[in-house]
Amino acid sequence: MMASAVAHGQSGQPAGNRPHAGDEPPGAASQPATRAVDDAAVEEMIRRLGDPSYDARTRATRELCRIGHRAAGALKEAAAGDDFETALRAANLLEVIESVYFGGCAVRLEADPARVSWNEPFELIVTIRNESDYSAQIPLEMSARRRGEVSADARQVGDMVDVADYLRVVSPDGRQVDLKVDDILVDPEVADAVEWRARGGPLGELPPGREVVVRLTDFNRGWARYPLLSRGVHKIDFVYEPQWDDEEFRRAGVGRVASNALEVEVTEAGPAIVRQRVRPAVVTIERSGDELVARLTNSDDLPIWINMNWGTSQAPFAHVVWTVFAGRTHEEELVEPEGRAPPMDAFTRDRLVEVAPGASVEVGRISLAQLLKKAMVQAVPAGRSFQVRAALVNQCDLSWQRRQEPALIGNHRVPEGLRTPLPRRMITGRFPSQPFEVIKPEDAPGR
């Protein structure tokens, strides 16, 4: 699942980012230079923070937000001044002004295409244009150099995480759709990209008159994604609101940046079990003649992989545990898989099975005769019921493979099936079914 997002300046070249030395600012030669901040003008704006007129105070605050961190020095002086009203407002403004983003910017959203089935990927295009006379702080990865140093998956996840703070995605029934991110620990580059953002992440400057375009590929089908599973029109918008302590600023929407309301139509809904948003997989039991069959259904919105190298509970093998419930106390009795643990070289790639969303695959079966031999079941009167539960157990996946010592990937001394990376979306853990009721036959052994 390869995905990427590319940031561009107005000239079409990859955009630069101030924190990374050696990056050339985007299209600097053909773009207007940042206007020098007029000290007198800034002082006048700060003076108006204490103006009796609410409108005058709000206009001054908005303008200082657009100037951003370049006005921080003057605000510090005002915050220490003798005019109480001005000092208080300057201090409040100073608390957040260093982290006010998108000052003076306009944001436009587009979808390509804007009409898809639930399982067809589309690209969300976010265009941010600085329409002010001052540089704007942008908390997005705009460095061409840094973007080129990481994998496409790390870029896709990083871009989605950057923009997700400001996106609102709403399904046709009015419910909010949350960002879904697969396990990042299976890929060190993806994990590093997310960890970097947790520590503060990217921050660049967008000069006046410039724009940056972020293309969020596989918006609904990537490693990080917004699953659009319901049929109908989904609405997407981009909203940034500074976290002001001052209630007047919040009420006036100072520093707020909002995009157009984008509509994406989903022409076909996902399978019902996928729309229910349960665990990645569901195990069920059905009766087939004199046997009980355990089936696993993919309830995730992307394909998953099942490890069908059957053996013990120890990786790299998987197994199915059958549990019997009988009697008033519903005591459990495990029906473990028969046979010894297979040798490590019995693990093969052809027993790794891909299962599409909503699709099912058989993972185990057990005969009723084997269950009726259990002492607990023999104590159940004929014609009465007992219950059976099946659970798929697997601990083998890409994360497990990377943790092993000595290393497995690329090691020609280990079995061939473990030398190359395992599928990223192979499920691990324990997946139990709901209890399945069985009526004990009249001719069964026991009372």
Rounded CA-CA distance 142/139 in Å is 9
335 lies in the same domain as 368: yes
108 lies in the same domain as 163: yes
Which pLDDT value is given to residue 305? 98
295 lies in the same domain as 196: no
55 versus 322: the higher-pLDDT residue is 322
> With 90 as the cut, is the pLDDT of residue 110 above it?
yes
Q: What is the mean pLDDT of residues 266-279?
A: 92
For residue 262, give every residue at least 6 positions away whose Cβ sits within 8 Å of its Cβ, in sequence order, or none. Answer: 109, 110, 111, 114, 124, 235, 236, 237
Name the pTM for this structure. 0.81
End-of-domain residue from the set 207, 240, 266: 266
Q: What is the mean pLDDT of residues 166-181?
A: 97
End-of-domain residue from the set 266, 291, 307: 266
316 lies in the same domain as 262: no
Residue 17 lies in a domain: yes
Q: Does residue 420 sit in helix, strand or coil? A: coil
199 lies in the same domain as 281: no
| CATH assignment at residue 210 | 2.60.40.3880
Which pLDDT value is given to residue 273? 95
Which pLDDT value is given to residue 132? 82
Give the other-Cβ count within 10 Å of 226's Cβ.
Answer: 24
Residue 71 lies in a domain: no
> With 50 as the cut, is the pLDDT of residue 30 above it?
no
Confidence of residue 24 (pLDDT cuts 50, 70, 90): very low
At 199, the amino acid letter reads R
Give the other-Cβ count within 10 Å of 201's Cβ.
Answer: 17
Class of residue 96 by CB neighbours under 10 A (exposed 0-12, middle 13-18, buried 19+): middle
Which pLDDT value is given to residue 250? 78
139 lies in the same domain as 255: yes
Residue 42 lies in a domain: no
On whether the CB atoms of residues 67 and 134 are closer than 8 A, the answer is yes
Confidence of residue 423 (pLDDT cuts 50, 70, 90): very high
Residue 287 lies in a domain: yes
146 lies in the same domain as 287: no
End-of-domain residue from the set 211, 246, 266: 266
> With 80 as the cut, is the pLDDT of residue 427 above it?
yes
Which pLDDT value is given to residue 337? 61
Tokens 């490890």 sit on residue? 307
Cα dihedral sign, 368-369-374-380 = positive
> With 90 as the cut, is the pLDDT of residue 312 above it?
no
> With 50 as the cut, is the pLDDT of residue 1 above it?
no
Q: What is the DSSP string of 374-397?
A: SHHHHTSPTT-EEEEEEEEEE--S
Confidence of residue 445 (pLDDT cuts 50, 70, 90): low
On whether the CB atoms of residues 333 and 350 are closer than 8 A, the answer is no
Pairing of strands 211-216, 262-266: unpaired
Which pLDDT value is given to residue 2? 34
On whether the CB atoms of residues 157 and 223 are closer than 8 A, the answer is yes
Rounded CA-CA distance 218/3 in Å is 6
Which pLDDT value is given to residue 6? 31
212 lies in the same domain as 325: no
The residues that bridge with 216 in the sheet, in sequence order, are 124
> With 60 as the cut, is the pLDDT of residue 157 above it?
yes
238 lies in the same domain as 284: no
At 260, the amino acid letter reads N
> With 80 as the cut, is the pLDDT of residue 327 above it?
no
Class of residue 327 by CB neighbours under 10 A (exposed 0-12, middle 13-18, buried 19+): exposed
> With 80 as the cut, is the pLDDT of residue 340 above it?
no
311 lies in the same domain as 192: no
Give the distance, in angstroms, between the CA of residue 244 and the centroid of all CA atoms in the same chain.
Answer: 28
Each residue's pLDDT tens digit, 196-229: 999 988 988 899 899 999 999 999 999 999 999 9
14 versus 248: the higher-pLDDT residue is 248
Which pLDDT value is given to residue 59? 84
Pairing of strands 115-116, 262-266: parallel
Residue 58 lies in a domain: no
Residue numbers of the domain that contains 218: 7-33+100-266
On whether the CB atoms of residues 68 and 97 are closer than 8 A, the answer is yes
On whether the CB atoms of residues 353 and 306 are closer than 8 A, the answer is yes
Which pLDDT value is given to residue 335? 73
In the chain, the number of structural domains is 2
Distances (CA, A) of 437 to 323, 324, 389, 401: 12, 10, 9, 38
Residue 208 lies in a domain: yes
Q: What is the mean pLDDT of residues 419-424?
A: 95
Each residue's pLDDT tens digit, 38-58: 678 888 888 888 888 888 888
Each residue's pLDDT tens digit, 350-395: 999 999 999 999 999 999 999 998 888 888 888 889 999 999 999 9
Residue 279 lies in a domain: yes
Mean pLDDT of the chain: 85
289 lies in the same domain as 425: yes
Residue 352 lies in a domain: yes
Report which of 120, 153, 214, 224 is spatially closest to residue 1, judged by C-alpha positions.
Answer: 153
223 lies in the same domain as 286: no
Confidence of residue 32 (pLDDT cuts 50, 70, 90): very low
Structure tokens at 335: 């029906």
Which pLDDT value is given to residue 23? 41
